[in-house]
Amino acid sequence: MKNIFIIGSKGIPSSYGGYETFVDKLTEYHQDEKNIKYHIACKGNENEEFEYHNARCFKVKVPNIGPAQAIYYDIVALSRCCKYIENNNIKNPIIYVLACRIGPFAAYFQRKIHKLNGQLYVNPDGHEFLRKKWSKPVRKYWKISEQLMVKYADLLICDSKNIEKYIQKEYKEYKPNTIFIAYGAETRKSLLEDNNEKLLKWYKEKKLDKKSYYLVVGRFVPENNYETMIREFMKSKSKKDFAIITNVSTKFLKELKKKTKFDEDSRIKFVGTVYNQELLMKIRENAYGYFHGHEVGGTNPSLLEALGSTNLNLLLDVGFNREVAEDGALYWTKEDNNLANLINYADILSDEKIKEIGNKAKKRIKAEYSWIYISNEYKNLFLER
């Protein structure tokens, strides 16, 4: 029996974000595996335990200490893992840390884990130190923390080939031990029909219709290039709407309004959030096209979901996005008028051409990014160590 301890997600069950979905899917696809036992740290108000997908989940109570919460959470979760391993005499455990938040403590924990005959695995995530939402001192911390996590990890599991190349080049002095295993996506269609009551109600409320809108789903942060997408859409001749599903930050929204005057264009629609996964999948399927402007990070969950659901995807031309979609998408740059011209071109594509692009995207997701494929990759990795 191989014991795998995963820390760094906010916990399961959850529809919160990428790491949470990853842990949820990994435990779901491995719940009948007799040779693997998962131990999952979950953020909670009480220090209690419960079972989910046959995984042992333990809650970690975190005080309200602002941005330092995440660091505190990881440290306490790691300490609890080490104590549990010691108390239960667990042989050859693997502790898998998601993200590089606790670099200054990595050497200490690596020594502790090695004393327990365990190994420290790390998922380095994307370029967190480049995110514009962080202040300069915080970005500096992220970079130093990443460096130390890379230095002391026994294995770095990169969910993007570009991130793996970056780790190998940036930290070659440490001779990092890396492996590429991507993030996953569903390859099925939504369970909702086109005449579903929830779907029709949502369309009515948002004043949208099937195949009459371009869509984007993602975190509302500058590095996801909302400004470029909105500005270029406003320049385009498209008669379609641009529906933006996101959790709006008032400050950033005001900045965008001032810069783009999007409120003067009735096609631009901020439509709130959608937490019902079947409904969101259906909204993606029914979109005419999907925009993806992410340029910081590894394999992005919302990109995989779009490629698995929407036929026509218009992606920012960066290495991360090309690596995933290859020839199953159209690409744009931040150059003036580039995206506007691409939208005009996309608007007149034939149904056959759109279907052809969509089929290439779905084939790519099924072959390299389906959850069944990704979970098998992890199973092989964990059991061979």
User: Is residue 335 pLDDT above 60, yes or no?
Assistant: yes
Query: Binning pLDDT at 50, 70 and 90, where does residue 298 land?
Result: low
pLDDT, tens digit, 9 for 90 and up, residues 229-285: 999 999 999 999 999 999 888 889 999 999 999 999 999 999 999 989 899 999 999
Q: Give the SS3 label for residue 73.
A: helix
Whether residue 126 is predicted with pLDDT greater than 70 in this model: the reply is: no
User: Which among 362, 211, 357, 189 is positioned nearest to 286, based on CA atoms?
Assistant: 211
Considering only residues 193 and 44, tell me which one the structure prediction assigns the higher pLDDT: 193
Q: What is the pTM of this model?
A: 0.83
Confidence of residue 187 (pLDDT cuts 50, 70, 90): confident
pLDDT in tens, 61-82: 998 887 788 889 999 999 999 9
Whether the CB-CB separation of 292 and 303 falls below 8 Å is answered with: yes
CA count, 13 A, side-chain hemisphere, 174: 19
Query: For residues 330 and 294, what is the distance between their CA atoms, to the nearest angstrom?
Result: 15
Q: Does 179 have pLDDT greater than 90?
A: yes
Both tokens of residue 226? 């909302």
Q: In what order do the strands lie in the sheet with 330-332?
A: 268-270, 241-245, 213-217, 289-292, 313-316, 330-332
Q: Which domains does the chain have, with CATH numbers?
A: 2-184+370-384 (3.40.50.2000), 197-368 (3.40.50.2000)
pLDDT at 133: 63
Who has greater pLDDT, 18 or 119?
119
Q: Is 98 in a helix, a strand, or coil?
A: strand
